[in-house]
Amino acid sequence: MKSIRGVWFFGVSGAGKTFASRYLKNLIKKSCIIIDGDEVRKYVSFDLGYSLKDREIQIRRVFGITKILVNSKIFPIISTVYMNSLICNKLRKEKILLLKIERNHNFISDKKKIYKLNKNVVGKQIKYPNFKCVNILNNNSLKDFKKNIYKRFLNG
């Protein structure tokens, strides 16, 4: 854990990234900040849509914010929907742990009606490229999910 300089969660909408970020923040004793991809989109990337190209730009921007925080000795906890191999490789070089949260679509609450959209939905029309990362299963058991986050963070 001491060598990790940050944690980045990614996964489809509704998988539990925000919950995981908040839970992890409560476990960490040092100065840390949560960077939620939805908030970055709202306040920084408001000029972007949801195409694959726009999602690529979005995660580059989030990575830039992450790099600024790491250089300032602040531990970032990031969550985004999309991820690619380019940013994955940059995260490895920066010693930022990349964790994919996987969840069965049957358990996802679609409050934002994202999965009813017909285009540019990550996990449906937009697929993740192949790259190596650590997976965390959110099986709809809060206790198991917390235990998996804790275990993956400590063993990262």
Q: Each residue of 22-70: pLDDT tens digit?
A: 999 988 877 899 999 999 999 999 999 888 899 899 999 999 999 999 9
Q: Give 154's contacts (C-beta < 8 A, 6+ positions apart).
A: 1
Q: Output the six-digit token pair for 150.
A: 């804790």
Phi then psi for 33, rounded to 5 degrees?
A: -145, 145
Each domain of the chain, given as residue ranges in start order, spans 6-155
The structure's pTM equals 0.82
- Residue 142's SS3 state is helix
- In this structure, CATH architecture of domain 6-155: 3-Layer(aba) Sandwich (3.40)
The residue with greater pLDDT, 103 or 156, is 103
The residue with greater pLDDT, 45 or 2, is 45
